[in-house]
Structure 1
């Protein structure tokens, strides 16, 4: 079979064959060998950047270090300086892979990867998707993502989609008439998997439920659905499984790094320990034991072009108590560090708590398609929602009672019905935002 995807990577200077071969060797390591590999690679990448990256030398304050825990934690504000100031010696925009983060954390920045590391990212994707019989060179993907709306950006993205065996459904219009066209594509094409933003795929599943349709019956070639970039709640997962008739896989990744965690066929959310090293830290940058919630801090073990060493990605999560160095398991992804609600009592609560409590009531009857919560003052919140009919006083009262029970009393809510919800430039839906 003609491997157009691999060939296009190779032609663009990304050594995918070597990356695949090297990743296979890492995966094949024994438990003890894997532990040693991780420690060696951590040390090698730090020493490389201390010798070759003035930006990282300045951050550390020296060209030497004694303990891993003494290394500074890199955050996104550190990275909002011009890219050329952050590149290692010998690297430039011409010989590196350059891209921009989505900015869903509110702090977008431009980053670089050396071409081998970018090839490793693709090899890591291919390896994990392969657990479910998906081949990037052959399997047709139904892609629910944003797309640039300018002419050149749009054409460029469509061409990349062609090379990558995927058909993109832009997520900016998810009306019933648009989803009707999506459904027609599934009737005509032999898609093997769905991939994309959770909220968009959930909306498609609700559309199917309303029509009493199972996607696998419409498109029998479907094998699996991977959701990414937004929280997947358990009830949404159940909805997707019932309306699609295929396994639903939870994916967690970052464009500047790699796939961070990917659900295995054994239903474990396995952390990528082949190309990344993941730590959970408290507010004082101390490593927390498995089972405790903290900041997710990640080291890219191979990227020589740009240091991502002890990089605070801006998310809060918990590693499973069963985790080991060579086989870490993500127990829970709680949300973003900047999505925390500060309440009048002084209590801090993850914004997703509001979303989750409200969701359990608001979607009971299938009337509300989607919603977001915004904190405008310390005791004031707005709930914007898209629905067939307006929320009634009984539903609103139920939501207020649930929030009083789970969070605290005397919070004020405005309910605003909209035709569509605002998404980021890339099409993501931010479920909770604090404007404090």
Structure 2
């Protein structure tokens, strides 16, 4: 059998075989060897960029750093300048893998990976998907992702999908009429797994619930569903597992890095400690003890083309108390740093708190398909929602009572029923947004 996926990587100049050999060797390290490996790779990548990347050397302000915790933290805003100015010596825009972040955090930028770094990223993804019996060379993917709509980019993505054993459902319109067509494809094709944005796949599960259909009854080849890019709520996971008839696996990644954490077979969010070094830092950029929340800051251990060293990805998370350097476990991902609501009392609350509170009440009867919350003033919020029928005054009162209880009283809410919700250009749904 022709291994199309491996072949497409190879033809594009990504040395996948060499990368897999190295990745598999890392997996065989003892805890002591792994500890030594991480320290060595951190030192190597730091010194490489200090010596070969003038942009990074200027950013750090010196050509040598003795203490890892003294290295300044990078943010997305540090990368909003031409890519050519950020590349290391000996790399050009033509010799690297180039892509753009989704911009769901509000700060999109173009990034680069050298070809070996991109190949070892794929080795990491292939390994983790393999836990669930998925082989990219032969497993057929039902893909719920955005797609560029201009002809050349659209055709390119479709070709990549074909070579990558994927069928893509575009997610910019997920009306019942479109979801009916999606369901038809599941009846016609032998999909092995589902992969894509959480909010879109949840909508499909709600559509199946309404029609009283279990997906494996119409597509018995399905094994598993991987969701990514947006928060996965426990009740959504339960709904999806019930309507799909398969396990739902939670993935946390960033296109500019790699898979950051992936749910293992024990249901834990296992952090990638083979190609990345993940830290949780406080406001002074110092490491916090495991079990304490802080900023998720990541170092890409292999990317020589472009520095991602102590890079603040914009998320707040907690590492499990039982984490070790060679086997870190992400206990909780709380949300994005720019999704914090500041209330009249001065209290700071993650935007997801509102989402949890309203979600439990709004979705009791399955009437509301999806909703987003916007903070427009210090004490004023708008909730845009898509539903079969308008919210009743009883439901609105219940939401207000819950918000008084969980957050604080004296907040004002307006509820707007919409035909559809605005997504990012990639098709992501930004669930909470502060406009302050």
TM-score w.r.t. the length of structure 2 is 0.99
**3-state DSSP of counterpart to 1:106:** coil
1:31 deviates by 1.0
Q: Residue 144 of structure 1 aligns with which residue?
A: 144
Question: Structure 1 residue runs of 4+, over 4 Å off?
Answer: none
Distance in 1 (CA, whole Å) between partners of 2:108 and 2:134 is: 31
- Rounded Cα–Cα distance in structure 2 between residues aligned with 1:165 and 1:404: 49
Distance 1:367 1:41 in 2: 51
How far residue 151 of structure 1 moved from its aligned partner, in angstroms, is 1.2
SS of residue paired to 1:116: helix
- Residue 238 of structure 1 is matched in structure 2 by 238
Q: 1:90: how far off? A: 0.3
Give the CA deviation at 1:389.
Answer: 0.2
- In the TM superposition, 1:175-194 aligns within 5 A as 175-194=175-194
The worse-fitting range, judged by mean Cα deviation, of 51-60 and 296-305 is 51-60
Once the two structures are superposed, the pairs formed by residues 312-351 of structure 1 within 5 Å of their partners are 312-351=312-351
**d(CA) in 1 for partners of 2:60, 2:370:** 45
Separation of aligned partners in 1, 2:295 and 2:172: 31
Q: In the alignment, what sits opposite 1:214?
A: 214
| Counterparts of 2:129 and 2:148, CA distance in 1 | 26
Q: How many Å apart are 1:291 and its aligned residue?
A: 0.6
Deviation (angstroms), 1:196:
0.3
**3-state SS of 1:384 partner:** strand
Any idea what SS the aligned residue of 2:8 has? helix
How far did residue 154 of structure 1 move?
A: 1.0
Q: 1:100 & 1:218 partners in 2: Cα distance? A: 37
1:195 aligned to 2:195?
Answer: yes
Shift of 1:28: 1.1
Indicate the residue corresponding to 1:304 in structure 2: 304
SS at match of 1:59: helix
Provide the residue aligned with 1:228 in structure 2.
228
Q: CA deviation at 1:418?
A: 0.4
Aligned residues: 436
Distance of 2:153 and 2:383 partners within structure 1: 33
Q: Structure 1 CA distance, aligned partners of 2:186 and 2:46?
A: 48
For residues 30-68 of structure 1, the C-alpha deviation after alignment (integer angstroms, 9 at most, x for no partner) is 111111101100000001011101011111111111100
Deviation string 1:227-277 (CA, Å, 9 cap, x unpaired) is 000000011111111111111100000000000000011111000000000
Q: Look up the SS of the partner of 1:6 in the other structure.
A: helix
The structural deviation recorded for 1:398 is 0.3
The 2-side partners of 1:197 and 1:319 are apart by 24
Please say if 1:247 is aligned against 2:247.
yes
CA distance in 2: counterparts of 1:210 and 1:23, whole angstroms = 44
SS of the aligned residue for 2:117 comes to helix
Long gaps (5+) in structure 2:
none
Could you say which residue in structure 2 is the equivalent of 1:35? 35
SS in 2 for 1:290: coil
Match status 1:132 vs 2:132 = yes
Q: CA deviation at 1:96?
A: 0.5
Secondary structure of 1:374's counterpart equals strand
**What's the counterpart of residue 123 of structure 2?**
123
Distance 1:157 1:11 in 2: 16
- Distance (Å, rounded) in 2 between the aligned partners of 1:234 and 1:26: 33
Provide the C-alpha distance between the structure 2 equivalents of 1:415 and 1:65, rounded to a whole number of angstroms: 53
- Which whole-Å CA distance do the structure 1 matches of 2:20 and 2:179 have between them? 37
Distance, in Å, in 1 between the alignment partners of 2:296 and 2:117 is 21
Distance 1:286 1:199 in 2: 34
Gaps in structure 1 of 5+ consecutive residues: none
Q: Does 1:110 align with 2:110?
A: yes
Specify the SS of the correspondent of 2:279. strand
2:97 matched residue in structure 1: 97
Q: Which moved more, 1:388-397 or 1:30-39?
A: 30-39
Residue 81 of structure 1: how far off its partner (Å): 1.2
